[in-house]
A and B are shown apart, each in its own frame.
Chain A
Amino acid sequence: MHLKYESFVREPLINGNKTYAQVTEDICRPIEQKPTKLWYLGFIFSLMLLGFGAFSVFWEVYWGIGTWGINRTVGWGWDITNFVWWVGIGHAGTLISAILLLFRQGWRTGVNRAAEAMTIFAVMCAGQFPIFHMGRVWNAFYVLPLPNSRGALWPNFNSALLWDVFAISTYFTVSLLFWYSGLVPDFATIRDRAKTKLRKQLYGLASFGWTGTAKNWQRFESLSLVLAGLSTPLVLSVHTIVSFDFATSVIPGWHATIFPPYFVAGAVFSGFAMVQTLLILVRKIYRLEDYITIGHIEAMNKVIVLTGSIVGVAYLTELFMAWYSQVIYEQQAFKWRVLGPYWWSYWAMMTCNVVSPQFFWFKKLRRNIVFTFLLSIVVNIGMWFERFVIIVTSLYRDYLPSSWTYYSPTWTEIGFYIGTFGLFFTCFFLFAKYFPVVAIAEIKFTLKTSGDNYKREMQHLDEKSIEEFIHAAEHAH
């Protein structure tokens, strides 16, 4: 049996004297109650956004890509900006579920379920943009390496854009499998306590007939560990490959070796901000403050200040390299980026991403919920501007001055973006109502190590000598 002792320097991760039964009760309660008015309001609003997005996409597909503001000079505009932004948001979920599992960070158990759900929904939103940016979307399957009737034509496997197709689809599949394999035992919990026939039927189906034998759990743990091990390099590879879309080109402002780590840090940065936005609301509405504690919020804020600072260093490195490279095109591109017609987007990015997270050096602010919530939104606005700056301000003034232009989106592009918010929140509202938003089995597993009541019981061990401590810990049960 493993030693159920954790240093008292670490604060409890589960408060409120919980027992196993209480954990089940707290997390299943929202699923078993009727949805509140607030839920219906939010859900219907999300559906309306989704509807508007669907209409905007229909308009674009029907009339063609010319309904968007992009042109020959600025071929990538809001579409790819939004694609990179959504993919980036997804990264926090995998970081929490996979990388923090490998690093044995106990606090991940409180937030991993919702964060992984966020990953999956964000990747779904991201995928829409490159697909509809193709214009003739009915030919989208050309990216797949299928034997076909057009002669033996294959996609170009040397292209970073095709790498993206493989990276995003693998990322989505693996995240979904990882998430669902964790959900199966929790669905079984809901099934076994279901009072209504319909709930028993549906959760019975969703639980795949899980009963939780010792051997099942042994394989479960093996699977989680290997999937975490696979997801860790995967998540790094995904945003690396997204950054290759830019870095393997020869456009001043894109052609930089710093891009992969810079993009990954930015992705984690924006993703954690989105996790904060969502979880601060979820814990409040579902009264899950005992499971998603201030300690959890503080831990995530620490990640935000770290990754925000990495991103800041990357911005400055880019400026330095432009000067140091002595390439006049690079220098001019960055001069215009900072001071040109799009100066406002550059400075919005700098303020939101580099300056604002520095407030999290102060413990008081890290543990302040209202401040965290507001700052998480600021960070996501900033990260959207980062992608806009990278894409548009590298393209709008190319090598040929007669092609210089100023790009603004049309209503269809904006509508498409709003529509993905609709898709994201429609999915998230359904998830929050019908799925356990905190991983029930995993929380129970950590309860006796990091529950406040169990930690208090262990306190007397701290005063003992090493031999006594080992003896007492071994015979604590």
Chain B
Amino acid sequence: MAVKKFAVACYDDEAVLFPAVEKVRRSGYKLHDVYTPFPVHGLDVALGEKETDLHVAGFCYGITGTATALGFMSWIFTKDWSINYGGKPFFSLPAFIPITFELTVMFAAVGMVLTYCYLNQIMPGVKKHVFHPRQSDDLFVIVMEITDPATEGEIVDFLKSTGSIETNVQVAEEGWWYGWWHKDEPYQKQLA
């Protein structure tokens, strides 16, 4: 985690954003990230992002739930404390199915959401730099990292040429940190 310098370009239409993303990828400058107010289909492909494996994790959690429920109930009714309920067999598999199913779903859902929060680095109290207040409203924002101060002007000019409606340079923390959203951080105060 470090405070770095970024060039920020805002677009107001996906139709302009996609060609811009393509140009950015071909330009050779270091792309930090693209922020959008809603899921733009195909943007992950355009950026060359791999498909997420989140659903695989979900499957693993689900299987864990199935095994936990089945194993636990079988152990209790056949080993730990067998009780004769109306002459039913101790190991009455059909009667275990409903709880097994529920726990499969419960484990899969809870596990996936926690993994999702971990991967996306989101949690109550987490704070990240917002490059443009309208990036969650109606603007699509491409953020480039300025690795070499000499190229700053070059990158800004390049971004302007891709059809952005607003371009600027910002100093910002690249990762996340704990903080209150109504308070400015030291590096933000310096900027102001």
A318 within 8 A of B: no
Query: Which residues of chain A have C-beta atoms less than 8 A from B72's C-beta?
Result: 145
A71 within 8 A of B: no
Within 8 A of B (CB), among A213-269: 213-223, 225-227, 230, 233-234, 237, 241, 244
Flag if A173 contacts B110 (CB, 8 Å).
Answer: yes
Flag if A192 contacts B124 (CB, 8 Å).
Answer: no
0/1 interface trace, chain A 426-458, chain B, CB 8 Å (1 if under): 000000000000001110110010000000000
Flag if B77 contacts A214 (CB, 8 Å).
Answer: no
Give Cα A193 to B130, complex, Å.
11
CB proximity of B189 to chain A, nearest CB, Å = 16
Partner of A208, one of B15, B109, B117: B117
Instruction: For B90, give the chain A residue with the smallest CB separation.
Output: A158
A343 within 8 A of B: no
Give Cα A198 to B181, complex, Å.
9
Give Cα A348 to B81, complex, Å.
48
Instruction: For A22, give the chain B residue with the smallest CB separation.
Output: B138
Flag if B122 contacts A210 (CB, 8 Å).
Answer: yes
Query: Which residues of chain A have C-beta atoms less than 8 A from B112's C-beta?
Result: 223, 226-227
Within 8 A of B (CB), among A167-199: 167, 169-170, 173-174, 177-178, 181, 184-185, 188-189, 191-193, 197-198
Q: A206-B124, A218-B44 are in contact. Are A170 and B105 (CB under 8 A)?
A: yes
A212 within 8 A of B: yes
Most buried by B among A203, A206, A476, A477: A477
B80 within 8 A of A: yes
CB proximity of A179 to chain B, nearest CB, Å = 11
A469 within 8 A of B: no
CB proximity of A242 to chain B, nearest CB, Å = 11
B136 within 8 A of A: yes
B37 within 8 A of A: yes
Q: A214-B36, A442-B38 are in contact. Are A219 and B47 (CB under 8 A)?
A: no
Give Cα A206 to B181, complex, Å.
11
Partner of B123, one of A19, A156, A209: A209
Flag if A167 contacts B120 (CB, 8 Å).
Answer: no
Query: Which residues of chain A have C-beta atoms less than 8 A from B98's C-beta?
Result: 160, 163, 166-167, 237, 241, 244
B116 within 8 A of A: yes
Q: A189-B136, A211-B135, A212-B37 are in contact. Are A157 and B123 (CB under 8 A)?
A: no
How big is chain A's contact interface, by range? 35 or more
A162 within 8 A of B: yes
Flag if B136 contacts A204 (CB, 8 Å).
Answer: no
B148 within 8 A of A: no
Query: Which residues of chain B have C-beta atoms less than 8 A from A24's C-beta?
Result: 37, 137-138
Partner of B134, one of A163, A192, A210, A226: A192
Query: Which residues of chain B have C-beta atoms less than 8 A from A217's C-beta?
Result: 36, 38-40, 43-44
Query: Which residues of chain A have C-beta atoms less than 8 A from B80's C-beta?
Result: 152, 154
Flag if A204 contacts B105 (CB, 8 Å).
Answer: no
Instruction: For A166, give the chain B residue with the smallest CB separation.
Output: B102
Flag if A173 contacts B109 (CB, 8 Å).
Answer: yes
CB proximity of B117 to chain A, nearest CB, Å = 7
Give Cα A192 to B138, complex, Å.
12
0/1 interface trace, chain B 111-133, chain A, CB 8 Å (1 if under): 01100110111111111111001
Query: Which residues of chain A have C-beta atoms less than 8 A from B187's C-beta?
Result: none
CB proximity of A125 to chain B, nearest CB, Å = 20
Query: Which residues of chain A have C-beta atoms less than 8 A from B157's C-beta?
Result: none
Instruction: For A244, give the chain B residue with the smallest CB separation.
Output: B98
A44 within 8 A of B: no
Flag if B138 contacts A20 (CB, 8 Å).
Answer: yes
0/1 interface trace, chain A 308-350, chain B, CB 8 Å (1 if under): 0000000000000000000000000000000000000000000
CB proximity of A259 to chain B, nearest CB, Å = 14
CB proximity of B85 to chain A, nearest CB, Å = 5
Query: Which residues of chain B have C-beta atoms less than 8 A from A408's C-beta?
Result: none
Flag if A157 contacts B77 (CB, 8 Å).
Answer: yes
Flag if A174 contacts B109 (CB, 8 Å).
Answer: yes
Query: Which residues of chain B have C-beta atoms less than 8 A from A156's C-beta?
Result: 83, 85
Q: A208-B126, A220-B39 are in contact. Are A177 and B109 (CB under 8 A)?
A: yes
Give Cα A370 to B44, complex, Å.
45
Q: A162-B99, A218-B44 are in contact. Are A205 and B122 (CB under 8 A)?
A: no
A38 within 8 A of B: no
Flag if B102 contacts A205 (CB, 8 Å).
Answer: no
For the A-B complex with A185-B38, A230-B108 known, give 8 more contacts whose Cβ atoms are closer than 8 Å: A1-B18, A200-B182, A204-B181, A208-B123, A214-B40, A227-B113, A234-B102, A241-B98
Nearest 4 Cβ contacts at the A-B interface: A204-B181, A477-B15, A209-B126, A20-B138
Chain A positions within 8 Å of B, measured between CB atoms, are 1-2, 19-21, 24, 145, 152-154, 156-158, 160, 162-163, 166-167, 169-170, 173-174, 177-178, 181, 184-185, 188-189, 191-193, 197-198, 200-201, 203-223, 225-227, 230, 233-234, 237, 241, 244, 440-442, 444-445, 448, 476-477
Chain B positions within 8 Å of A, measured between CB atoms, are 13-15, 18, 33-44, 47, 49, 51-52, 54-55, 58, 62, 72-73, 76-77, 80-81, 83, 85, 88, 92, 95-96, 98-99, 101-103, 105-106, 108-110, 112-113, 116-117, 119-130, 133-138, 176, 180-182
Can you show 24 pairs from A to B with CB atoms below 8 A apart? A1-B18, A1-B41, A1-B42, A145-B76, A154-B80, A156-B85, A158-B92, A169-B106, A170-B102, A181-B116, A185-B37, A203-B181, A206-B124, A208-B122, A209-B127, A210-B122, A212-B35, A215-B49, A217-B40, A218-B52, A223-B112, A223-B113, A230-B105, A441-B39
